[in-house]
C-alpha cells in the first residue's frame, strides 16, 4: 500500500515512524467514521465522504463553503498534490486564489481543458480578471486617483461612507496629481477620500474599483501597491506626494485608542490595533472635539490625552 503524508513542510512516503499515518488512517477509517479510501487508484466512496464532510460541518454549526458535488469535482480534476501547497493564509496559484474561490472564478483561457492557475499564465490572469469583474469591478473606471489635498482638509471625511462624484471633489479644491486633466467620464464616478497617513502623506479619491481590490486583500497599502503597479506598467508616473514615514504606535496602543473611541461612541468597528480608515476618522473626530491638532493619525500625544 502506498502512503503519502504531508508533515513539517515535506511529503513523506511510506509509514514514517512515530507519526504512523497508516495506523491512524486505518483506525479513523474503520472505527470513528467511514473515512475516504483509495484502492489501486480508485476511490470508491469519495461521494459518501464528501457528503459526510458537509454534514459534519453543519453539525458543528458551520456553513460549508462547498457542496459534495463541488468537492468531488475538485478531487476528480486531479490537481497534483504539489500544487496544493499554499501561502500561510491558504492562498494558492500564481495569483494567490483562496480554495473557496477557485471554482467560482477559475478560467481555462488557454483551452487545454483545465483551469490551471498554478502553471498557466493565461489561466491565472483570466481567472483573476473574472474574480474582479464578478465582484463588481467596473471597466473603464479608475481604481483610484491621487490628488493634491487642500491645506484646510477635514480629514474626518476620509472614510468610505462619505461619497461624492469625483468632479465635485475637484470643485472642492482637490487637484489630480501632476495637475493632469481627468477624462470627462471619470468626473461622474462616485468616490470617497483616502488619507492613508492622515494629513501627512498622499491623498486619493477611491471609487468602487478600489473597494473591489480590498475584497481580495483588505490592506490599504496592498491595494495602493497593486493599483499603482498596474498604473506604472501602463506608463503612469510615481506617486507625486511622498510618504512621510510617520512614527507608528504599537498594536496594543492603537487597540487602547480604539477601546476609548468605542466607549465614547465614536468608533463602531473591530478592535484590531490597526489604524484603518474608520479608526483614523474617529481619531480626527476625537481631536476635533477636544481642541487638539486634527491630523487623523494615532500619536503618543493623542494616546496620552485619552488616558490621562
**Strands (DSSP E) along the chain, which ranges?**
4-7, 10-13, 145-148, 164-165, 175-176, 190-194, 196-199, 203-206
Beta-ladder partners of 148: 175
Whether residue 4 is predicted with pLDDT greater than 80 in this model: the reply is: no
Please tell me the least confidently modeled range out of 35-49, 119-133, 200-214.
35-49
pLDDT reported for residue 280: 96
CA 183/CA 141 separation, integer angstroms: 10
Sheet of 203-206, strands arranged across: 164-165, 190-194, 203-206, 145-148, 175-176
Which cell numbers hold the place of 250?
504599537
Domain ranges for the chain, please list them. 82-134, 145-233, 251-307
Please report, rounded to a whole number, the percentage of residues in the chain having pLDDT higher than 90: 61
pLDDT reported for residue 22: 53
Q: Spell out the residues 6+ positions from residue 101 whose beta carbon is closer than 8 angstroms to its own.
A: 131
Mean pLDDT within 281-301? 96
Q: For the segment 248-264, what is each residue's pLDDT rounded down to a tens digit? A: 899 999 999 999 999 99
DSSP notation for 17-45: TTT-HHHHHHHIIIIIS-----BTTB-TT
Q: What is the DSSP letter of 92?
A: B
Beta-ladder partners of 165: 190
Query: Residue 76: which pLDDT band, with cuts at 50, 70 and 90?
Result: low
Query: Residue 75: which pLDDT band, with cuts at 50, 70 and 90?
Result: low
Comparing 296 with 244, which gets the higher pLDDT?
296
CA 53/CA 61 separation, integer angstroms: 13
pLDDT reported for residue 101: 85
Mean pLDDT within 38-52? 64
Whether residue 148 is predicted with pLDDT greater than 60 in this model: the reply is: yes
pLDDT reported for residue 31: 36
Average pLDDT over all residues of the chain? 85
Comparing 230 with 245, which gets the higher pLDDT?
230
Three-state DSSP at 221 gives: helix
Q: For the segment 216-225, what is each residue's pLDDT rounded down to a tens digit? A: 888 999 999 9
Three-state DSSP at 229 gives: helix
pLDDT reported for residue 125: 95
pLDDT reported for residue 83: 62
Please tell me the least confidently modeled range out of 45-49, 183-187, 265-269.
45-49
Please tell me the least confidently modeled range out of 68-82, 129-143, 165-179, 266-280.
68-82
Q: Say if residues 299 and 248 touch (Cβ distance below 8 Å).
A: no
Amino acid at each position: 500500500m502506498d502512503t503519502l503524508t504531508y508533515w513539517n513542510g515535506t511529503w513523506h512516503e511510506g509509514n514514517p515512524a512515530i507519526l504512523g499515518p497508516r495506523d491512524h488512517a486505518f483506525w479513523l477509517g474503520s472505527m470513528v467514521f467511514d473515512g475516504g479510501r483509495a484502492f489501486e487508484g480508485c476511490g470508491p466512496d469519495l461521494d459518501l465522504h464528501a457528503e459526510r464532510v458537509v454534514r459534519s460541518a453543519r453539525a458543528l454549526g458551520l456553513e460549508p463553503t462547498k457542496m459534495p458535488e463541488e468537492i468531488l469535482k475538485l478531487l476528480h480534476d486531479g490537481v497534483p498534490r504539489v500544487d496544493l501547497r499554499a501561502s500561510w493564509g491558504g492562498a494558492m496559484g500564481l495569483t494567490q486564489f483562496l480554495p473557496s474561490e477557485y471554482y467560482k472564478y477559475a478560467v481555462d483561457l488557454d483551452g487545454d481543458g483545465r483551469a490551471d492557475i498554478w502553471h498557466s499564465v493565461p489561466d491565472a490572469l483570466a481567472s483573476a480578471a473574472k474574480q474582479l469583474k464578478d465582484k463588481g469591478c467596473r471597466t473603464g473606471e479608475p481604481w483610484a486617483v491621487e490628488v493634491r489635498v487642500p491645506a484646510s482638509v477635514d480629514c474626518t471625511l476620509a472614510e468610505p461612507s462619505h461619497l461624492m462624484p469625483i468632479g465635485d471633489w475637484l470643485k472642492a479644491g482637490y487637484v489630480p496629481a501632476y495637475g493632469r486633466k481627468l477624462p470627462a467620464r471619470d468626473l461622474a464616478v462616485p468616490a470617497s477620500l483616502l488619507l492613508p497617513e492622515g494629513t501627512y502623506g498622499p491623498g486619493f479619491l477611491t471609487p468602487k474599483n478600489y473597494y473591489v481590490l480590498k475584497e481580495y486583500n483588505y490592506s490599504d497599502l496592498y491595494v495602493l501597491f497593486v493599483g499603482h503597479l498596474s498604473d506604472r506598467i501602463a506608463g503612469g508616473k510615481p506617486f507625486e506626494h511622498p510618504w512621510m514615514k510617520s512614527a507608528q504606535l504599537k498594536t496594543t496602543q492603537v487597540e487602547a485608542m480604539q477601546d476609548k473611541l468605542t466607549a465614547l461612541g465614536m468608533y463602531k468597528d473591530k478592535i484590531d490595533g490597526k489604524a484603518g480608515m474608520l479608526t483614523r476618522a474617529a481619531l480626527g473626530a476625537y481631536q476635533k472635539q477636544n481642541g487638539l491638532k486634527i491630523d487623523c493619525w494615532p500619536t503618543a500625544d493623542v494616546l496620552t490625552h485619552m488616558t490621562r
